[in-house]
A and B are shown apart, each in its own frame.
Chain A
Amino acid sequence: MTLHRNVYQVLADIVGHENISDEPVILDTYAFQWLAETISGTKFCTRPEAVLLPGSVEEVQAIIKACNRYGIRYKAFSTGWGPWNTVGGEGVIQIDLRRMNRIIEIDEKNMYAVVEPYVIGSQLQVEAMKRGLNCHLIGAGANTSILASATSMAGYGLSGIFTGYSNCNVLAVEWVLPNGEILRLGSLGSGDGWFCGDGPGPSLRGVMRGMIGALGGIGVFTKCGIKLYPWYGPPTTPIEGIHPLDGMPIPENFRVHSLTFPSWEALADAVYRIGEAEIGYVMGRALPPGLIPALNVGSASEYAQMLQLVSTEGMMDEFKYAIQIFLGANSARELEYQERALEEILSESGGKIILMLEEQSVKNILFRHLIKSEGISRVFQLAGTFATSLGAGTSWDAAVASGKLGEQLKRKYIERGAIADDGGDLAWGGAYQHCRFGHLEEIIMYDFQDADSLKGADEYVEESAQATIEKSLGQPISIVRGMAEHFGPTSCDYHIWMRRIKKAFDPNIAADPSFYIEAEQPPGK
């Protein structure tokens, strides 16, 4: 389907001719995605009919109303990293929210900010830090949209022990509903500001998203209030050294350690105790054994050499049941308390500090990596791409069970050469809100340009998803089309309710449902 010229003109009149395009080259740059091959078999998903760059909520609203009027579907995104940003089929326009990029306000006293979609984590963080505040950054990286993570996607990040999870950090939201009406959640809807996203009465944040967001399927979010958290470091964080060995000097009221434990069970116990002690600013399995060598190397070749060296010299064992933890405190006394508490916990659980990672320059690198959340995307570097699996948000014990399961399931795929031999254990994640819940997702790295590797990766993801059902380990984190249909029947048929919500809020099915829920049950389901 090609967009009718009249409709194109209507849309162009809304955003301005310079902010809309249906040029094939432009369209292809929106069709191309990481993991596109899992949808279409090539690097390109379906082309959108046109790409629009609105500059305001009014323009977004006008676009959506036009879409409803003319029977066009739309798919909006912010930073757009991942195939869930692409359009789900023919006849869909893409709304790129790049031009809506302001930090509207930072309320220092009440510790929140209001942002537009194209404010990335790094931008908000540096502005917050100038004010003694920080924001939650997701593990994928601080190059992602704060708003998108809060309203539409997932939200795990390893500062989550202190800064929670994106869904819990969102306050009021400005939301253009699928039919083009503007809904302002919570206190904003009553004209009272951004400090609360809930009410009056039930919270419509419940419709906005769940553990995962609607990935474009329930309208477009144009502003949101987001919790900020205390930052006990300096207002600016200079980097020293040259990449990949650049580090962030650790402020005097922070401590950085990598800890190792004798077993998964001991690690699990220790994490629970860390949570109870209410210590920690960053904590989690930032460097599962397979990723340790990636910390300070520049290329895949160097990584491979380092991994081989580390494996040969038997160093992997030390990283097997390991976590990274940063302590951060407002006062020297508090820091001392945190350190003593950690010391006790280590003693009780048989854990110890990994001395080989205690070297100052290494710790500085780790500090930069995790405070700035800018290193995990190395998982793309090594084999070409990666996929994730398991990783439900659940109690820490169940998360650890997922970690163990992942390693077990991966083994045969490594043995058959389908996925990278990362040592078998790339379970990444942590425990959040002082360990009230956590997650461990098993990462696999594979070469999508190699048919056998792609096949093996697909099989592994499928097998691991099935395993989470069989072992009651929650719904897996990997996001594919039709997930609700697949997992709903195992979980109180939530997909039926989702479909009702979709139809109620989007009677014309204008918001692309491909990563949310289709209006009609697919045949055979």
Chain B
Amino acid sequence: MSEKEELVAIVGDKNVFDTPEALEAYSRDESFVRQMKPQFVARPQNVDEVQQIVKWANRTGTPLIPVSSGPPHFRGDTIPSLGGVVMDLSRMKRIIRINRRNRVAMVEPGVTFAELQSELKKEGLRLPMPLCPRSSKSVIGSCLEREPTIIPKYQWDISDPLLCTEVVFGTGDLFRTGEAAGPGSLEDQWASGQAQTNPMGPFQVDFFRLIQGAQGTMGVITWATVKCELLPRLQKPFLVASQRLEDLLDFTYRLLWARLGDELLILNNFNLATILATDRDEIKALRDTLPRWVLIVCVAGYERLPQERVEYQEKDVMDTAQRFGVTPVIAIQGVQGRNVLEALSTVSAEPYWKLRYKGGCHDIFFLTTLEKTPEFITCMYRMAAAAGHPSTDIGIYLQPQIQGRACHCEFNLSCDPGNPKEVKKVKHLFFNASKELMEMGGFFSRPYGPWAEMAYSRDGQSAMALRKVKGIFDPNNVMNPGKLCF
């Protein structure tokens, strides 16, 4: 049998693609990662098919690139570095189980945020989301990437909201992580009252942590449970404006310490404008009227005493604000907090917000601590100026993580993909700024594309250790080779 025939035998002929158009679509993305076509795209339906494909890949020595989300992709992690087969998991779209009592949902990789949120809503639940994900973004994909979510109080561990998983390791072995491992089948566990809410283990290894952040290099997730929260009955968003970022930081720290607010993030005027507006002109106009920095904090009430909860939170926020000399308001310069919250509570409308300004966007992001963010911003502006890239066109997003122990710092560099000169300039800026920010102490915990080499040359020991892990879970290096340090 030819390779294609073997794949067809597993997933059916309607689910194997090798037309130029299909391959082209998976050969590139919005990033600067070098284009490379896969040989095939296969779309399995269930875990058996996934497992068979992985075993086949081991037998044939074929690279496999798992992809959960739909396009456009931005990180370069779904581009086959060495050819091979893209395993598109978007057919696996079951929401297997929603358990209201334990506030947990079990989903397959093809389930998007919009799909899940609408089902969760029926149960009075929601899933904390990253910042306005694109409509095609997979929930599992996002969780595996450790994308920051906008409600830091729910992120007890950087791994949240990912809980248990079913995974096919690169060896082709099937495994369940966390308490889902057993004893007993899932049905047995449900019968005993378990709901796969504890991601740790089994026993002395946190297997899920080895798959999360791995860019598909360790295995393929075929379902995961994710930690859901109560859907607020009442929400009151506030905006805190400032021309100086520094003026917002202590207030933010205090909110985190006092556990006030649900959604809590800082956007610069460019990003806020881009999220709210629909086209370039509107973005520009709005950006120019907005203050440079906007802290968004939303207080909420849930099923129990929602009004009372909002009231006390609001008053405490106001008292705290007064102490730090800032003023939370419900609207600034014509932007209503309600509208902002609405935008943050759903997936991005089309076009994806990052692409609205110029059609293309390159993100630089890393972890640091909140009080250090001004230094990084100064650096970014300096480098942008040196590259001739207007700082007014740089989007900035600061997201407290792990309930305030770390901060995701993100720069969004808009770029017209149809303008080669601009692309070259932005590429140059992207690489140089990434290096500089890393040198300054930005922790590139999610090392996509060119960051991988930079990050692992700073941390050779981690690279060596990860290669040992890789040697265990994917000894033949079939899973997305060429990524990270593999």
Contact = CB atoms under 8 A, between A and B. Distances in A.
Interface string B364-388: 0001111100000000000000000
B309 interface: yes
B437 to A, nearest CB: 11
Interface in B271-309: 302-305, 308-309
B304 A276 contact: yes
B193 A494 contact: no
A525 to B, nearest CB: 15
Contacts of A213: 204
Contact of A205 (B102, B179, B195, B209): B209
B183 A491 contact: yes
B23 interface: no
B211 A202 contact: yes
A436 B102 CA distance: 7
Most buried by B among A334, A336, A495: A334
B200 A203 contact: no
A314 interface: no
Interface residues of A, number: 99
A184 B193 CA distance: 38
A230 B259 contact: yes
Interface in B130-161: 146, 156-159
Contacts of B368: 192, 195
Contacts of A400: 193
A340 interface: yes
Contacts of B238: none
B194 A196 contact: no
B210 A207 contact: yes
A181 B313 CA distance: 49
Contacts of A168: 156-157
B408 to A, nearest CB: 10
Interface string A252-286: 00000000000000000000110011000000000
A418 B458 CA distance: 59
A448 B215 CA distance: 52
Interface in A207-264: 207-215, 217, 227, 230
A456 interface: no
B175 A497 contact: yes
Given A212-B203, A333-B316, A344 B192 contact: no
Nearest to B369: A110
A404 to B, nearest CB: 11
A374 interface: no
B431 interface: no
A57 to B, nearest CB: 13
Interface string B444-461: 111100011001101101
Given A111-B404, A471-B192, A497-B205, A436 B197 contact: yes
A355 to B, nearest CB: 25
Interface string B164-206: 0000000000111001011111001101111101101111111
30 contacts: A110-B404, A110-B406, A111-B405, A186-B443, A189-B458, A189-B461, A195-B443, A196-B406, A196-B443, A198-B213, A199-B446, A202-B209, A202-B217, A202-B469, A207-B210, A207-B465, A208-B206, A276-B103, A337-B312, A345-B304, A394-B179, A397-B193, A436-B197, A484-B204, A488-B202, A492-B176, A494-B202, A494-B205, A495-B203, A498-B204
Given A330-B259, A436-B227, 7 more contacts: A196-B405, A200-B446, A202-B213, A393-B179, A394-B193, A472-B189, A473-B183
Interface of A: 107, 109-112, 132, 164-165, 167-168, 171, 177, 181-187, 189-193, 195-215, 217, 227, 230, 272-273, 276-277, 330-331, 333-334, 336-337, 340-341, 344-345, 392-398, 400-401, 433, 436-437, 468-475, 483-484, 487-488, 490-492, 494-495, 497-498, 500-501, 504-505, 516-517
